[in-house]
Structures are given as structure tokens and as C-alpha cells.
């Protein structure tokens, strides 16, 4: 599994393999954006329940990370 880290350089991410600690610096564009929308009832539930918010947040971060790892790391599809 690869983990992503911001570097001091604008426009790049440092990827580190958690198995062997090998690192890669990958070009990154902030212009590529994702828009995430939730159904209105879920917005209210997440606002009222921190526990639900945390669970939804974890799923979203996991899937975004997986998306970028599949996109950036060759052969991961």
C-alpha cells in the first residue's frame, strides 16, 4: 500500500510504499478537483451526529485515496 504525503514543493506529492519504504515524487495538479455531494437528509444527520460524520469522512477519504493510487501507480488496476 502506498501512502501520500505533501512535500514542500508545490505541484508534487511524495508517495511512500508502506512495505519497503521506497519513495516516489509524483507531479500533482491542484486544478484537478472532485465535487462531493450528499443527499440533504444525510447532511443534517451528519451535522447532528459526530460519530456518523466521522464514519462517512473515513469512507470518503479511503475512496479518494484509492482513486488517486490507482490513477498514479501503474499496474494497480
As a whole number of angstroms, the distance between CA 34 and CA 64 comes to: 9
Tally of domains in the chain? 2
* DSSP H or E segment with residue 5: strand 2-6
What is the DSSP secondary-structure string of 13-65?
EEEEETTT--EEEEE--TT--------HHHHHHHHH-HHHHHHHHHHHHHHHH
pLDDT in tens, the chain (77 residues): 445 555 555 667 777 777 787 887 777 666 666 778 899 999 999 999 999 999 999 999 898 888 877 776 666 55
For residue 21, what are the domain limits?
1-32
- pTM of the shown model: 0.51
Residues 42 and 73 in one domain: yes
Answer yes or no: do 23 and 39 share one domain.
Answer: no
25 and 1 assigned to the same domain: yes
| Together in a domain, 51 and 63 | yes
76, 48: one domain: yes
Amino acid at each position: 500500500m502506498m501512502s501520500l504525503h505533501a512535500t514542500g514543493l508545490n505541484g508534487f506529492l511524495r508517495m511512500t510504499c508502506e512495505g519497503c519504504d521506497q519513495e516516489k515524487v509524483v507531479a500533482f495538479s491542484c486544478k484537478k478537483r472532485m465535487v462531493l455531494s450528499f443527499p440533504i437528509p444525510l447532511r443534517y444527520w451528519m451535522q447532528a451526529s459526530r460519530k456518523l460524520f466521522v464514519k462517512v469522512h473515513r469512507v470518503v477519504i479511503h475512496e479518494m485515496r484509492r482513486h488517486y493510487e490507482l490513477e498514479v501507480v501503474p499496474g494497480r488496476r
